Structures are given as C-alpha cells and as structure tokens.
C-alpha cells in the first residue's frame, strides 16, 4: 500500500519563512521547510496498480498556471483547542478550481471526491498543549502576514511514509500547468 496526496509545492524562501514562523510557539512542532506544501487532495492508502493509474492519469490535468500569495494565519479546529496552525492562500478561488480539476481526473481512476469542505491552507505547525493565550497572540501578531506572489506552474503527486520523526514525503510525479 502506498499513501498518496496531490499538492502544490511552495516557493523555497516562503517555505523557510513559514517553517520558522511555526517554531515560535511553545508546544508547537513546526513543519520542516522541505515538507511545507499546499495539499489539493489527500488520496490515502492505495494498492500499487491504482498508484500507477493515478500517476499516469494526472498527466490529463488541464489548468493554467496560478499566481498565489500567502496571506494571514489561523488554526484548526476553528473552535476548541487548536491543534494545527496554518497560513492562508490567496486567491483561494483559483486553488479551489485547480482542486476540482484534480478531483475530476482522480474520479477517472475510481477515486471518489472528498466530502469534507476544502479550505486552502498551508500547515505550518502542529500544536500540543500550547497555551491558548500564546496561540491568540500568535494569530494577532501574524494577522497581516503576506508573502510576495509566486507562480504555481505544476502540481505534484507525493507519497508519504509515516515515521517516528514525522511524515517523509517523496515526489512520485510532477504535472505542468500549461493550459485551460
């Protein structure tokens, strides 16, 4: 079984900035810079034959390149004890359209669309026993976070292997965004 997801790679300078941002809270485990990405679709565990089908079918993805920027911060869940700190992405609508196109391609492989609401974000840290006041201060202090725009000209298919140190991601395929 292979654990898969489709994601947008983030500009390396922005990844480093987001990773260091995630390390500023007590009880926060920052996402390492090399692991920071924007997930379009988590696929989950699949058999080898479906993995090969997904990897080939994603070549059918049709979309224009995007210009995105990182903007603002928040946490999940939105109510209750925060478990994840995230950075927002703008324009979110363009990311939603790209995600829908990824879902359309995946459906040709027999993968059902996710039922959960999609909220484009980049996870910057996972929280464990972080003081609520410090989380609130972090959010207030980073409410105006904004990166320069960066171009997204491809999406990647990643495999993810869980280890004691966290997930290890590997690019299994890269798909250029070149048209409609």
Give residue-wise pLDDT tens across range 68-78. 999 999 999 98
Q: In what helix (H) or strand (E) does residue 14 lie, and over which residues does it extend?
A: helix 12-22
The structure's pTM equals 0.93
**Nearest C-alpha neighbor of 69 from the set 103, 120, 5:** 120
Clarify whether 52 is annotated catalytic: no
Helices (H), 63-143: 92-107, 132-141
* pLDDT on residue 79: 86
* pLDDT on residue 180: 63
Burial class (CB in 10 A: 0-12, 13-18, 19+), 117: exposed
Count up the domains in the chain and report the number: 1
- Of 37, 52, 59, 75, which is the active-site residue? 37
d(CA 22, CA 38): 15
Clarify whether 121 is annotated catalytic: yes
Please give the residue range of the domain that contains residue 144.
2-176
Digit-by-digit pLDDT tens for the chain (180 residues) are: 999 999 999 999 999 999 999 888 888 999 999 999 999 999 999 999 999 999 999 999 999 999 999 999 999 998 888 999 999 999 999 999 999 999 999 999 999 988 889 999 999 999 998 888 999 999 999 999 999 999 999 999 999 998 887 788 999 999 999 876
Q: Which distant-in-sequence residues (6+ apart) come within 8 Å of 163 by Cβ?
A: none
Contact 40, 58 (CB under 8 A): no
Q: Which distant-in-sequence residues (6+ apart) come within 8 Å of 29 by Cβ?
A: 22, 125, 126, 127, 128, 166
pLDDT in tens, 99-132: 999 999 999 999 998 888 999 999 999 999 888 8
- CATH number of the domain to which 90 belongs: 3.90.1140.10
């Amino acid at each position: 079984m292979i654990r898969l997801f489709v994601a947008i790679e983030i500009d390396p300078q922005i990844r480093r900035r987001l990773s260091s941002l995630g390390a500023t809270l007590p009880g926060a485990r920052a996402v390492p810079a090399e692991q920071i990405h924007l997930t379009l679709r988590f696929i989950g565990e699949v058999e080898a034959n479906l993995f090969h089908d997904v990897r080939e079918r994603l070549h059918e993805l049709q979309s224009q390149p995007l210009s995105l920027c990182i903007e603002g911060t928040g946490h999940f869940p939105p109510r209750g004890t925060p478990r994840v700190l995230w950075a927002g992405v703008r324009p979110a609508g363009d990311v939603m359209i790209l995600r829908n196109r990824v879902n359309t391609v995946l459906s040709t492989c027999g993968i059902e669309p996710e039922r959960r609401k999609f909220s484009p974000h980049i996870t910057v840290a996972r929280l464990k026993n972080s003081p609520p006041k410090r989380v609130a201060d972090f959010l207030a202090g980073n409410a105006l976070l904004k990166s320069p725009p960066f171009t997204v000209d491809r999406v990647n298919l990643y495999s993810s292997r869980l280890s004691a140190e966290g997930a290890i991601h590997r690019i299994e395929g890269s798909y250029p965004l070149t048209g409609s």
